[in-house]
Structures are given as C-alpha cells and as structure tokens.
C-alpha cells in the first residue's frame, strides 16, 4: 500500500510505503505530488517512509524515484528516507538502485514512535 501526504507546516511531502507496494498502487501519485509541491512553496523535502514496507517491486521504486526527480523544479531541497530495523534488504536495494538528484539521507529508526521526533530533528538540521 502506498499513501502520499503533504505537510505544509513542515514543508514536506511524505511518501509512505506499507506492506507490499506495487506499481499499481502508485496510480495518480505523480500528479498529486506535483500539485502538493506547487502548494508547499520553496524549499521542501520529500520523506519516503519505509519503516513498515515489507516488499516493493523494482518498478514501483523506479516510479517513486522518477517522481521525486521531477519535483526539483518546484523547490525540492532534499530527500530523507526513513527505514526501520526490520526493513527488508530487498526494499532498501530497490531504492538504492535508482539515482537521486540529491544525496539521500537514510535514517534507521528504532521504533515507530521515534518517527516524528527524528523527522523534526532532521528537518531542523536541513533548515526546511
């Protein structure tokens, strides 16, 4: 399952991957991401949450990576990828196989409860 949310207060777009993610789950997400980026203003960060992702197709990971790269002209300032201690290596590899417009800051969270605290700390460091 894939969901997308924008958070104007934090200046970010959240891409949440849970359980199994396929390319079919991404229907319409690119348009939604561009519209969210236009509304957020500059700069903003894309956060891809993989803490609860069990599996992702290589095609889906490629589509997400392509979408993120298309947000650069709208003010994308960086990418943050949140993983859990139990995020499968295959999920990490699916994303690592794709080039990014920025260095991706990958953070391993010890628990789901730490997500918002770590996210706020990272955003404060990047100045977004």
Is the predicted pLDDT of residue 115 greater than 60, yes or no?
A: yes
- Sequence ranges of the domains in the chain: 2-126
pLDDT in tens, 1-13: 999 999 888 889 9
Over the range 84-110, which residues count as b (16 or more CB within 10 Å of their CB) and which as e? beebeeebbebbeebeeeeebeebebe
Q: 41-85, pLDDT tens digit by residue?
A: 788 999 999 999 999 999 999 999 999 999 999 999 888 899 988
Whether the per-residue pLDDT at 126 is higher than 70: the answer is: no
Class of domain 2-126: alpha beta
């Amino acid at each position: 399952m894939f969901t997308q949310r924008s958070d104007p207060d934090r200046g970010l777009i959240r891409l949440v991957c849970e359980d199994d993610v396929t390319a079919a789950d991404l229907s319409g997400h690119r348009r939604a991401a561009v519209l969210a980026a236009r509304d957020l203003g500059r700069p903003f960060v894309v956060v891809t949450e993989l803490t609860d992702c069990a599996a992702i197709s290589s095609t889906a990971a490629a589509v997400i990576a392509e979408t993120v790269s298309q947000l650069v002209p709208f003010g994308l300032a960086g990418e943050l990828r949140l993983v859990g201690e139990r995020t499968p290596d295959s999920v990490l590899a699916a994303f690592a196989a794709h080039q990014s417009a920025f260095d991706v800051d990958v953070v391993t969270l010890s628990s789901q409860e730490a997500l918002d605290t770590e996210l706020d700390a990272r955003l404060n460091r990047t100045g977004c």
